[in-house]
Amino acid sequence: MDLNVNAPLRDNVRLLGDLLGECLRQQAGDGLFDTIERIRKASVATRGEQGTPLSSLRELLSPLDDDTLLEVARAFSQFLNLSNIAEQHHRERLHRQHQRYPGDPGGDQGLLDVLARLKEEGVADARLGETLHDLSVELVLTAHPTEVTRRTLIRKYDQMADLLGELDRSDLNDEERRSLRARLRRVILAAWSTDEIRREKPTPVDEAKWGFATIEQSLWQAVPDMVRQLENQLEERGLPQPPADWAPVKLASWMGGDRDGNPNVTAAVTREVLLLARWMAADLYLRDVENLLADLSMEMASDALLAVTGPSNEPYRVLLRGVRARLKLTRRQLEAQVDGLPVPEGEGFAFREQLLEPLKLIDQSLREVGLADIANGDLKNTLRRLNCFGITLLRLDVRQESTRHSDALDAITRYLQLGSYQQWDEERRQAFLIEELQARRPLIDAGFRSSEECTAEVAEVLDTCAVIAEQGSEGLGAYVISMATTPSDVLAVMLLQKIAGVAEPMRVVPLFETLADLDGAEDTMRALMAIPFYRERVAGGQEVMIGYSDSAKDAGFLGAAWAQYRAQEKLTALFAEHGIPLTLFHGRGGSISRGGAPSRMALLSQPPGSVAGRIRVTEQGEVIRFKYGRPAVAVFNLAQYVAATLEATLLPPRVPEPAWREQMQTLTDVSVAGYRGVVRDEPELVRYLRTVTPETELSRLALGSRPARRKADAGIGSLRAIPWVFAWTQIRLMLPAWLGTGGALEEALADPEQSARVREMADHWPFFQGVVDMLEMVLAKADLNVAAWYEQRLAGTDEGLQKLGDVLREKLTSCVAALGGLTGREDLLENNPVMRWSIRVRDPYTDPLHLLQAELMARLREQDGDETLESALMVTIAGIAAGLRNTG
């Protein structure tokens, strides 16, 4: 660990901790402050070399009354949030100094590093230019069902980070430094005095507004800054500049469109979110235009511009005033549509080209009259924003589960007296769908809506398609079908859009999620490609989504990873065979067991040829805030995606050796069997999950708008992948991320031939290297002792649960040992000292929260409905999530 590079981080953590302590003394008194300090010191001692018994820490917590438990939980949770602010600011600091944060795994590299490697490898400039020209990274922002931090606190945390940045200045005098420190203390005091827990569940519209706020506060500035940075780096390398409309990164969203298992997302919600996004875009462009009006006061202009404005001393302002008036009208029209009021007359901006045209005319004029430097300033930033955000801010995806579409078509065929679509075999379904997709006549009449076949659920599917038809294509992205298994699942959505009169249909994207779905993905898509009508429809490109969450829940981390890899290989080969571009849409989450990984590691571990200059990736709530919540960090992370996509396209990873593939299959066979042997076959697992983890308590939290379960039953099968991961993460057992993998590695390392092969894979195969690195990172956050604390307090003398707990902890111990045997490292993260330090510095603050959480769960189960206990429990959940920098 570079002490000089990271000394400012430790200084910031100490400063924020000291200021929090001052606020605690002032607000809660010396008594509570002293109690917290005793707990902190006892916690440090339990983690120290002497290993003070845990009982000393428990003895300090057990006698505390409910109100004191709440305040103690708040104090430790707040410190962990402050530590995260310091670490985030440190990343910004190093990015400004063009240094890589040593705690970032995966060896992230910027565009200049990648360009240098491409030159060394002899990649021709012409090929590089073509790839950059067409390169497409689309980040899909999703709501986060386990995001617990309130927006008002996020705002205060941003203010703290800004003040830390100001304190970094070397030219401050003593008085200025004291003043900044006082301001920082006031913000910390304001945060401490704010209720940190959201009391009401957010609606899907609330979630969408949260996404809009991220764009407004960070990405609106970061996107043009990132493009400018990349263009400068290409110029530095002597490469041609990309075209004026270059947009290597675009943004989409699921917030307000993801209705899979979420009854709160309706057609009306989707329509409102689309209108609000357009309103926000108009408002943000209006601010840009106001700035341009203030700056573009010059008189020199081209004949083309003067032909539009007429003679004027300030022709640019004449044109911009018209743009401003039209943007204001656009906002009023959108407000009226949202509120259901009469829409003001006039022509607002409905399409990107309408706003782009006058701005391009100004840009061309400035360049023509010798004012290119001015054109390259704020005006070019606005044009870059238009290239990325369009007039709609985000492209909204729609996601729905496949049976909802087949239910709708079944209602239609029964209404038409054609029989039951549900009872038809796949061949008959396809024949019907293809015939109707090519027919010129309408399929149903107005009477269908009032028929008994058209249930509320069927009407909702049709209403959603009607919104798609009404809103047009500019603000819409992909229609994603979850639980897609057959070609008819895809054709069904195409027909439903046709029935609704969608002029420019959304592209239909099957999502392959479970192990069986991933294994069958090639067969499904090959069957579709055998249909001439379909092949013609997707000649310009096909998108397929790969699910990480449900596949990992189904088969475990290792089994899912290999199934995802194989599915991508086969799909890449299939579409190459047909000469149709393929975009793979990766449904990753923040946690390792849901596909979370550093950008470069994730992209370079994909099968060779599968990236091909195009990538689409989900980014969920906690990841959005961490990677894109601050402009400087957002610029870095956006540029990382561009550089990594370029690298994976032009310098793809090596094709795995046949022996590696065989070995990987052996590993996953053992891993899947081991994982399912516990998750599916262990009769006590559901009871253990519900007793020892806070799985049942999660329903108390006002988290995301989506229910934690797909169905009302209490089994694991109905539990969504995110709370499944969240529950195990809270008790530090991290079970979904390693279960089964340890046994597979252990068995392989016990055999000399397999051992040699696995070590070779770890050294030379990027995919397997990524698996090993991610496993090491998650195991570093696991903690046997912490998991045992929960069991001791909550399972009591229950022999069945104790026995299962012993088995799970033994499996975790074996997994750590097997990983050490493979890597040759005695300590986890021995090769990543900063991350190891980051985890260790948080442990003395997360440990009390774990003990408190177990105590609170026990008390709440005896005193259900106690508001103080519920608040304290929610604080511990938020604090542990902050301490681990990971939830679902």
Tell me: the pLDDT tens digits for 512-530?
A: 988 999 999 999 999 999 9
Select the more confidently predicted residue: 670 or 620. 670
Q: 139 phi and psi, to 5 degrees?
A: -100, 125
Full domain range(s) for residue 480: 395-587
Q: 64 phi and psi, to 5 degrees?
A: -70, 140
**pLDDT above 70: residue 253:** yes
The neighbouring-strand residues paired with 258 are 399
293 and 403 share a domain? no
Rounded CA separation 365/746 (Å): 69
Q: 231 phi and psi, to 5 degrees?
A: -60, -40
Q: To the nearest 10°, the Cα dihedral for 687, 690, 693, 696? A: 180
Does some domain include residue 577? yes
CB contact set of 19 (below 8 Å; sequence gap of 6+): 181, 184, 185, 188
- The single-letter DSSP state of residue 548 is S
Give the confidence band of 501 by pLDDT, cuts at 50, 70, 90.
very high
Least confident among 132-146, 275-289, 295-309, 483-497: 132-146
Does some domain include residue 16? yes
Closest C-alpha among 404, 377, 391 to residue 282: 391
Predicted confidence at residue 750, as pLDDT, reads 96
**pLDDT above 70: residue 791:** yes
Find the helix packing angle between 784-794 and 799-823, rounded to 10°: 180
Does some domain include residue 638? no
275 and 378 share a domain? yes
Q: Which sequence positions are flagged as catalytic?
A: 144, 553
Look up tokens 């606005």; give the residue: 382
Tell me the pLDDT tens digit for each residue of 415-465.
999 999 999 999 999 999 999 999 999 999 989 999 999 999 999 999 999
313 and 167 share a domain? no
Rounded CA separation 532/540 (Å): 14
Query: How many Cβ atoms sit within 10 Å of the Cβ of residue 879?
Result: 28
The CA–CA distances, whole Å, from 806 to 145, 733, 810, 812 equal 31, 12, 6, 10
821 and 874 share a domain? no
Tell me the pLDDT tens digit for each residue of 852-869.
999 899 988 888 778 888
Query: How many Cβ atoms sit within 10 Å of the Cβ of residue 622?
Result: 24
User: Which of the listed residues 568, 587, 606 is the one where a domain comes to its end?
Assistant: 587
Q: Which two tokens stand for residue 41?
A: 């010191």
Does some domain include residue 717? yes
321 and 436 share a domain? no
User: Which of the listed residues 537, 560, 587 is the one where a domain comes to its end?
Assistant: 587
The neighbouring-strand residues paired with 509 are 480
- The CATH number of whichever domain residue 309 belongs to comes to 1.20.1440.90
Rounded CA separation 640/233 (Å): 13
Predicted confidence at residue 102, as pLDDT, reads 45
Q: Yes or no: say if 854 and 794 are a contact pair by the CB < 8 Å rule.
A: yes
Least confident among 581-585, 674-678, 708-712, 814-818: 708-712
Least confident among 171-185, 288-302, 317-331, 589-603: 589-603
Which of 23-32, 95-104, 388-397 is modeled with the greatest confidence? 388-397
- The single-letter DSSP state of residue 698 is G
Rounded CA separation 409/493 (Å): 10
Closest C-alpha among 40, 8, 45, 9 to residue 24: 40
804 and 869 share a domain? no
- The single-letter DSSP state of residue 531 is S
Does some domain include residue 243? no
Q: b/e map of 432-458 (b: 16 or more CB within 10 Å)?
A: bbbebbeeeeebeeeebeeeeebeeeb
Which of 75-79, 626-630, 717-721 is modeled with the greatest confidence? 75-79
Q: Is 286 helix (H, G, I), strand (E, B) or coil?
A: helix
Predicted confidence at residue 397, as pLDDT, reads 97
Average pLDDT, the chain: 89
Q: Which whole number is the average pLDDT over 379-390?
A: 98
Predicted confidence at residue 594, as pLDDT, reads 46
555 and 699 share a domain? no
Give the confidence band of 148 by pLDDT, cuts at 50, 70, 90.
low
Q: Which whole number is the average pLDDT over 265-287?
A: 97
Predicted confidence at residue 105, as pLDDT, reads 42
Q: Which whole number is the average pLDDT over 583-598?
A: 65
Domain total of the chain:
4
377 and 457 share a domain? no
> How far, rounded to the nearest angstrom, does the alpha carbon of residue 776 sit from its chain's CA centroid?
21
Tell me the pLDDT tens digit for each residue of 3-60.
466 788 889 989 999 999 999 999 989 999 999 989 888 888 887 665 666 777 888 8
Tell me the pLDDT tens digit for each residue of 522-577.
999 999 999 999 999 999 999 999 988 778 888 899 999 999 999 999 999 999 99
Give the confidence band of 245 by pLDDT, cuts at 50, 70, 90.
very high
Rounded CA separation 576/610 (Å): 10
The CA–CA distances, whole Å, from 2 to 5, 103, 107, 833, 838 equal 5, 11, 16, 9, 14
Does some domain include residue 146? no
The CA–CA distances, whole Å, from 794 to 206, 730, 758, 801 equal 36, 14, 40, 10
31 and 54 share a domain? yes
**pLDDT above 90: residue 286:** yes
Three-state SS letters, 396-460:
EEEEEEHHHHHHHHHHHHHHCCCCCHHHCCHHHHHHHHHHHHHCCCCCCCHHHHHCCCCCHHHHH
Whether this prediction's pTM lies above 0.85 is answered by yes
Half-sphere exposure in the Cβ direction for 583 (13 Å, CA):
23
471 and 557 share a domain? yes
What proportion of the chain, given as a percentage, has pLDDT over 70?
92
Give the confidence band of 388 by pLDDT, cuts at 50, 70, 90.
very high
Rounded CA separation 295/316 (Å): 10
User: Which of the listed residues 788, 803, 831 is the one where a domain comes to its end?
Assistant: 831
Give the confidence band of 593 by pLDDT, cuts at 50, 70, 90.
very low
675 and 550 share a domain? no
Q: Which two tokens stand for residue 140?
A: 């899909």
674 and 543 share a domain? no
Does some domain include residue 76? yes
CB contact set of 473 (below 8 Å; sequence gap of 6+): 503, 504, 506
Look up tokens 């986060």; give the residue: 144
What proportion of the chain, given as a percentage, has pLDDT over 90?
68
Q: Which whole number is the average pLDDT over 345-360?
A: 96
- The CATH number of whichever domain residue 419 belongs to comes to 3.20.20
Predicted confidence at residue 152, as pLDDT, reads 82
Q: Yes or no: say if 120 and 236 are a contact pair by the CB < 8 Å rule.
A: no
Predicted confidence at residue 888, as pLDDT, reads 42
Least confident among 174-188, 604-618, 869-883: 869-883
Does some domain include residue 617? no
Three-state SS letters, 590-658:
CCHHHCCCCHHHHHHCCCCCCCCCEEEEEEEHHHHHHHHCCHHHHHHHHHHHHHHHHHHHHCCCCCCCH
Predicted confidence at residue 1, as pLDDT, reads 40
Tell me the pLDDT tens digit for each residue of 125-139.
999 999 999 999 999
- The single-letter DSSP state of residue 243 is P
Q: Which whole number is the average pLDDT over 819-829?
A: 86
Predicted confidence at residue 104, as pLDDT, reads 47
CB contact set of 406 (below 8 Å; sequence gap of 6+): 421, 422, 488, 489, 492
